[in-house]
């Protein structure tokens, strides 16, 4: 019997990472979900979503990495509670950007992938319909791939897969519905942990995507 392909999936508990996990599952990969606690405001709620999705997707492995040094680095309204989370959408890179977060996440995922002899790392980054973060682009993914190729053993063949990178948020929601993603278990809000605020950029993008997809969003919002 042929061994099942293994994948590490970076999983925040949000829609994008959950749909990426669903794509990996649909592709026949054994799922190993990796969540990160970096001192973010909504970590408790994100961790609840991570655990629920791991159970729903029957993940073989699940790990939570403590990278709270990112909170000490600061310069992000997600980790510096003295900085307000901006409401609405705006041009440029928003204050919710965490410096080089995805580079750090992918590096740790590569270490676990090499240890597990996993073939792939799935990440739910989006370039075209994202908030403008510099570490969510195809160019960034390609360069991280080069670093992983150079920094792992020759026999380790680990491919970063970013299946959503050129999709819109609406297309991601539609794909998730097709793959039977339990959207009610996911969490997108940057600000609150009980009822989503409805006014941060992540909430606005989520609400707009569900509306355009013609699908009812199962979570509640304050506004």
**CA triplet 157, 26, 187: central angle to 5 degrees?**
100
- The answer as to whether 222 is a domain residue is no
At 14, phi and psi to the nearest 5?
Answer: -90, 180
Q: How many domains does the chain have?
A: 1
- The answer as to whether 79 is a domain residue is yes
pTM above threshold 0.75: yes
Q: Which of 13, 15, 9 minimizes the C-alpha distance to 32?
A: 9
Q: What is the mean pLDDT of the chain?
A: 95
CATH number of the CATH domain containing 209: 3.40.50.620
Report the C-alpha gap between 20 and 39 in whole angstroms.
23
Quick one: pLDDT at residue 99?
95
- The answer as to whether 112 is a domain residue is yes
Q: How confident is the model at residue 92 (pLDDT cuts 50, 70, 90)?
A: confident
Model pLDDT for residues 129-164, shown as the tens digit of each residue: 767 899 999 999 999 999 999 999 999 999 999 999
Torsion of CA 121, 127, 128, 132, to 10 degrees: 150
Beta pairing class for 5-10 and 120-122:
parallel
- The answer as to whether 220 is a domain residue is no
Quick one: pLDDT at residue 128?
77
Beta pairing class for 159-161 and 120-122:
parallel
Model pLDDT for residues 7-64, shown as the tens digit of each residue: 999 999 999 999 999 999 999 999 999 999 999 999 999 999 999 999 999 999 999 9
- The answer as to whether 84 is a domain residue is yes
- The answer as to whether 219 is a domain residue is no
Q: Which of 145, 182, 150, 184 minimizes the C-alpha distance to 162?
A: 145
- The answer as to whether 113 is a domain residue is yes
Q: Where are the alpha helices (DSSP H) in 27-68?
A: 43-56
Report the C-alpha gap between 123 and 186 in whole angstroms.
16
Quick one: pLDDT at residue 40?
97
- The answer as to whether 97 is a domain residue is yes
Q: Which two tokens stand for residue 113?
A: 């992938």
DSSP state of 101: H
Q: By residue range, what is the domain housing residue 165?
A: 5-213
**Strand residue runs (E) in the chain:** 5-10, 29-37, 61-66, 120-122, 159-161
């Amino acid at each position: 019997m042929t061994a099942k392909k293994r994948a590490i999936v970076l999983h925040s508990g949000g829609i994008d990472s959950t749909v990426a996990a669903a794509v990996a599952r649909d592709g026949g990969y054994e799922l190993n979900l990796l969540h990160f606690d970096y001192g973010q405001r909504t970590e408790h709620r994100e961790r609840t979503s991570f655990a629920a999705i791991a159970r729903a997707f029957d993940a073989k492995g699940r790990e939570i990495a403590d990278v709270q040094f990112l909170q000490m680095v600061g310069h992000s309204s997600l980790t510096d509670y003295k900085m307000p989370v901006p409401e609405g959408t705006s041009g440029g890179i928003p204050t919710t950007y965490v410096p080089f977060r995805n580079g750090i996440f992918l590096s740790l995922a590569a270490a676990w992938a090499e240890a597990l002899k996993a073939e792939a790392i799935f990440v739910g980054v989006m370039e075209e319909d994202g908030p403008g973060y510099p570490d969510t682009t195809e160019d960034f993914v390609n360069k991280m791939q080069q670093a992983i190729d150079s920094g792992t053993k020759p026999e380790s063949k680990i491919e970063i897969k970013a299946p959503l990178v050129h999709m819109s948020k609406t297309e991601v929601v539609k794909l998730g519905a097709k793959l039977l993603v339990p959207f009610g278990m996911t969490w997108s809000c940057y600000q609150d942990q009980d009822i989503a605020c409805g006014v941060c950029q992540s909430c606005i993008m989520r609400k707009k995507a569900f509306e355009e997809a013609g699908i009812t969003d199962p979570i509640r919002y304050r506004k």
